[in-house]
Amino acid sequence: MISNFITMNGYGIFVWSSFVITFLVCGVVYYKTRKTLKKYEKEFAKEIGELSIQQKKTVLRNSKIASKILASYNKTI
């Protein structure tokens, strides 16, 4: 019964290899996206760090996204 499910009447190799390839590609895309996001977060935090205290307060007050990015960036340090 299990062997019939795995072989799928001779088409199992195509089905299971498709699943493996799909999961590998999704994993690579996830890894690259996460890596790029971390890079941009680091650049953004660096740019914010170069601002004066008054400018930082203005940016953080006006932008919810900026405060969330900096909060998540500080957690990873």
Q: Taking the domains of the chain in order of start, what are their residue ranges?
A: 2-76
Confidence band (pLDDT; 50, 70, 90) for 77?
very low
| Distance (Å, whole) CA 29 – CA 36 | 11
Mean pLDDT for 65-69 is: 78
Residue 33 and residue 39 in contact, taking contact as beta carbons nearer than 8 Å? no
pLDDT value at position 74?
A: 60
Residue 73 and residue 42 in contact, taking contact as beta carbons nearer than 8 Å? yes
pLDDT value at position 28?
A: 98
